Amino acid sequence: MKKKYIVGIDEAGRGPLAGPVAVGAVIGLLNSKLLKKIKDSKKLNAKQREIWHKFLKKNFECHCVFIGHKTIDKINIHKATLLGVEKVLKKFKRKLDLVLMDGSLRAPKEYKQKTIIKGDEKISLISAASIIAKVSRDRRMMREHKKTPHYAFDKHKGYGTKLHYKKIKKHGLSSIHRHTFCKKI
């Protein structure tokens, strides 16, 4: 019986005021026993996500791409996320049988695909992809925090929290802020 190569895809960072959007992808079997207890990244704390991330990287082929704030400002977040899907799929060297994606994501037409509303809660491979994207993006924002600690990216990861708005009002926009997301600040 021919092995099926199924990829789960999800993103992290559509809504923040700063930083890239991350698109994660994991290839595996649809109902892999290894992923039986996995959850959507939003239902895990940071420590749990890190444990799963390490497990996924060890046991599955995983990829993540970032689409930066300048591209987001230029083409909009939706198109930037779709660009991320296209780029992350190119990381896989084998022919893919099916691409499963969360929410409003879609792949280029040449892929057999299915978009599932709340897929990150229903499909283990999409949950896995959500963890790859979230942990990768959080790590990127922690590196940004080391460069510009006065924005407190370590606390809010670029999301529009009260603390983040306070820091923007005090320091202005950083070099990684999405200008189209910060027009009313």
In a domain, 161, yes or no: no
Burial class (CB in 10 A: 0-12, 13-18, 19+), 84: buried
Domain CATH number, residue 24: 3.30.420.10
Quick check: is 165 in a domain?
no
CA 120 – CA 127 distance, rounded (Å)? 4
pLDDT tens digits for 74-117? 999 999 999 999 999 999 998 999 999 998 899 999 999 999 99
Tokens of 117: 């509303």
Neighbours of 74 (CB within 10 A): 11
Number of folded domains that form the chain? 1
pLDDT in tens, 24-48: 999 997 778 889 899 889 999 999 9
Domain assignment present for residue 11? The answer is yes
94 occurs within a structural domain: yes
Tell whether 152 is covered by a domain: no
pTM, entire model: 0.95
